[in-house]
Amino acid sequence: MTAPIKAVVLGVSAGGFNALHKILPMFRKDLSVPIIIVQHRKADFDSYLINSLNEKCQVPVKEPLDKTNIESGIIYIAPGGYHLLVEKGEVLHFALSVDPPVCYCRPSIDVLFESAADAFGSALIGVILTGANFDGSKGIKKIKSLGGITIAENPETAEVDYMPSCAIRTNAIDHILHLDEIPIFIQKLLRL
């Protein structure tokens, strides 16, 4: 590892509601980095996902707005219908975009992962969980190429195994872990 970890990006699609409710409560309230998530979801104003996670998690869960500064110790989930990007400036912040869908999705995992890789370089962990398309595979390759750490959920534990299987086939995955091992592993890396 060439740099202390500064952020975790996580991509999830079909089966994601259950996966996020299983692993996000396992992160301790002293989380030292932001966790930035794209869950494929349609544009709507339903706050059920955020509210239900906040009831279970020790770490605050928020939907960022455009130009929101990125802070440690917060779990951010992309709003439905918008790509979520990490942008450099005086401080790192989010940008929301209504550019066309990528891999049939907006928000797209690839869009988040590629912009986060540009911003954080080798100080980034990228994680691919359950899902039914190939979104995230391109982004995971970029994270790996810039020296970040890459993780895929073991397809055996994924509710839908297609997305982690596609990521694994890129040969850019450092660690293949069962779902409930992922937060434990990440928190060990953060304490190094």
pLDDT (0 to 100) of residue 192: 60
Local confidence band at 128 (pLDDT 50, 70, 90 cut-offs): very high
Report the candidate in 37, 112, 44 with the shortest Cα–Cα distance to residue 81: 44
Q: Are 32 and 73 in contact (CB under 8 A)?
A: yes
Residue 13 catalytic? yes
Does the pLDDT of residue 2 top 60, yes or no?
no
More confident residue, 178 or 191: 178
Which of the residues 93, 108, 115, 135 is marked catalytic?
Answer: 135
The residue among 159, 177, 184 whose CA lies nearest residue 18 is 159
| Closest among 130, 122, 132, 119 to 174, alpha carbons compared | 122
Domain ranges of the chain: 7-190
Q: C-alpha distances in angstroms, 104 versus 13, 95, 113, 138?
A: 12, 20, 16, 14
Whether residue 64 is preceded by a cis peptide bond, meaning omega within 30 degrees of 0, is no
Q: Does the structure show a pLDDT above 60 at 57? A: yes
Q: What percent of the chain lies above the pLDDT cut of 70?
A: 96
Q: Which CATH number fits domain 7-190: 3.40.50.180, 3.40.640.10, 3.30.540.10, 1.10.3720.10?
A: 3.40.50.180
With beta carbons less than 8 A apart as the criterion, state whether 45 and 53 touch.
Answer: no
Q: What pLDDT does 45 receive? A: 57
- Rg of the chain, C-alpha, whole Å: 15
- Which listed residue (40, 110, 115, 165) is catalytic? 40
Are 64 and 31 contacting, i.e. CB atoms less than 8 angstroms apart?
no
The whole-number pLDDT of residue 42 equals: 76
The one catalytic residue in 13, 108, 115, 165 is 13
Q: How far from 7 is each of 49, 53, 86, 143, 160, CA to CA, in Å? A: 22, 19, 11, 12, 26
What pLDDT score was predicted for residue 89?
81
Q: Which two tokens stand for residue 124?
A: 């980034």
**Residue 70 · residue 94 · CB < 8 Å:** yes
Q: 115: helix, coil or strand?
A: helix
